[in-house]
Structure 1
């Protein structure tokens, strides 16, 4: 029986990063992963195969099409007869995924990580280690890291299948739907709705909550909703789905809105109402691994479960279901196993929505800071006063800085506008080191760049913005 220092169950962002970091630290490492794409083993989990990466490829392609058909003329560029070759667009998406998933396989080989394709299951304790069924082969591991991720949560009235799809199905439509329904106005729903709206679909988004992006700063969510509605996305909030029926031609959804019963018909329906942990088949019950009432693995602050030598990270432990959060937990747990001080600062994890305009934030919202009893000051600066944004042709949105009124420490930064997925990195770095609005405002930013808006928003917390 082969023996390993560390065995990782799951090859997504949490699992593959944990495996690589553990190997870097000198451990003998194996990873067992069951994910398949196009009938073949494919490392990288949901994120690389059917989530983060392919969705961003489609967002970029659809945004380029919209630029050519709706915005190029403003730049003096006339384009006649532009059309979408959806098959070619999907093929490009697949090639991007192939490169990245193949890259993970290369990194495993480079770091001498043994890879098993199939399901991983906890079998029994064995002295100071564990016996794990790695895709039909029993192996021994001193330490086991559970990183099995999550899967889309289905709506009981609308099980996945046919014209009712989750994120992976929504990235593989064979033709642009005439009418597309989306249940859930979260990150996935809005991003995928944006893709198909740009390509020509009429998109209706149904959300049970009373408002849009309630986790974001109020100013950001209001601005984003205004921009999306201007683009043609049709939002309905506070709705209750009462019936869903489908046939070969499409899907009919009945819902209650403001006390009225409404029926809508769609060619396709995307259901994006959250995700549930992948713990079925893990063997948790057989070995006594503690799960909570929703099926997430219970862990302490150091990712330890109730069983010695078994750790858990990523989506399967709950919290923010973000690939970058999972990756950092993968690094931290490997270092903790090695006796180092692995740590993740959950207070400054960035959130990004890759729509147009993009949305990004980190830290506390203004409302959240006040609810904690903090005295705050805020500064806001628009992209419409930024030379690079105007030259680029996209000056929508703004950056908002929330700082402690007494200490000037940055509590949160919130953005909606062009390329804010890249701008948020500076904010996270500044917050990670306890930086102040003064620090950010006095940092020299290149001109002309979009990043100057971040500097100006920091200066605006003391009413010192230079260009407004």
Structure 2
């Protein structure tokens, strides 16, 4: 029987980062993965492939909508080679998962392919696809089994016409009408991919706005921009049924007044969130508790009820974000090593990779109001930036929320070009307890999109932005 200091179950961003950090700290480490490729949902059927398609479709959209104004004339009709687009996406995925295998080899981490199942708190059975199995011994175990797409009880996912994000990433054709059930991050990103490629896209959302977990101002602006691009929204609509209809699908939904709408499309993308994945883990055998929501129960040290077993990422409480999982992977590895790491969950940024991009960190206005915190707000529109005018990316704004008395930044919310990258400045500033005035007095290169952050800070400090 093979023995290891640490066994990590799951090779997604949380799992493989945890394994690498454990190896760096001198632990004899193994990682268990049920699929032939490493990287989990994020690298195989999530973050990476969706961004590849977003970038490809963005290029096509620019070519058809903006190149002429930029003085770029292309002879002949611009066409989508969808087969090549999907192939390029897969190539990007392959490069990334190969890179993870290289990192495992580099750090001398043993890769065990199969389903990991606890026999007890220190023994894990690895069952391979052909039914063969082996048992390994682990002094410590890190559960990083991630999540799977959720559905609604009455919806039958057939993976052909009624699909999840996994199937949406490998369609054989551009839909004529894609009905997206759920106005969250995944549905909007994939919806915009196919919208750019010529599909009619309709989004049905139960709540009264899209991206409901983010600041209401971001939701309002993104709705306005996506509507301008041609996306249709049915907010405050409860889906009542989704069924196959001829060669397509039919979705029935009801609004708050009890009025019913019927949408006919050729695909329905069910994007109502994700659920923790613990299937086959046999957690109870190790003394690990699973909550009513299907999450692995952990304490503030991410330790389960079994003191030598930890859990990280989507399988525990909190936002289901790859970078959150990575931070938790490092946190647990260093905790096992006797160090004193720290994670500030308030400073884990959230991003929507539509165009314009949406990004946020810290508290929203709604949260501050609910908590009774006195705050001040400063905003600056991208349309007032020289850089935005030069690139024709003028949609969006940056908003900074600061404590009314101390001026400490409490939240930064942005929608616009490259905000997925700009949010790192916000996280850095808040990590060091910056005030709005601190940010306003930092030199920002000109012309850049980042100047919007400085200008918003000036607006929040004493309402004195320069360029508006």
Which TM-score bucket, shorter chain as reference? Answer: over 0.9
Q: Which residue of 1 aligns with 2:380?
A: 381
C-alpha distance in structure 1 between counterparts of 2:465 and 2:310, whole Å: 48
Q: Which residue of 2 aligns with 1:4?
A: 4
Q: TM-score, normalised by structure 2?
A: 0.96
Q: Which residue of 2 aligns with 1:133?
A: 125
1:65-464 alignment to 2 at 5 Å?
65-79=60-74, 80-125=76-121, 130-135=122-127, 136-161=133-158, 162-247=160-245, 249-257=247-255, 258-461=257-460, 462-464=462-464
Consecutive unaligned residues in structure 2, runs of 5 or more:
128-132
CA contact (8 A) 2:184 2:212 kept: no
Equivalent residues, number:
459
SS of equivalent to 2:378:
strand
C-alpha distance in structure 2 between counterparts of 1:82 and 1:282, whole Å: 50
The offset of 1:32, in angstroms, is 0.4
Q: CA RMSD in A?
A: 1.0
C-alpha distance in structure 2 between counterparts of 1:279 and 1:356, whole Å: 34
SS of equivalent to 1:369:
helix
The offset of 1:213, in angstroms, is 2.2
C-alpha distance in structure 2 between counterparts of 1:87 and 1:67, whole Å: 20
Q: TM-score, normalised by structure 1?
A: 0.96
Deviations 1:325-370 (A, max 9, x none): 0000000000000001122110111110011111100001122112
The offset of 1:371, in angstroms, is 1.9
Deviations 1:141-175 (A, max 9, x none): 10000000000012222222121111110011101
The offset of 1:247, in angstroms, is 4.9
The offset of 1:433, in angstroms, is 1.0
The offset of 1:214, in angstroms, is 2.4
C-alpha distance in structure 2 between counterparts of 1:254 and 1:221, whole Å: 24
Deviations 1:369-400 (A, max 9, x none): 12222111111111111111110111111100
C-alpha distance in structure 2 between counterparts of 1:64 and 1:131, whole Å: 50
C-alpha distance in structure 2 between counterparts of 1:367 and 1:311, whole Å: 33
C-alpha distance in structure 2 between counterparts of 1:374 and 1:386, whole Å: 31
The offset of 1:137, in angstroms, is 1.2
C-alpha distance in structure 2 between counterparts of 1:325 and 1:105, whole Å: 22
Consecutive unaligned residues in structure 1, runs of 5 or more:
36-40
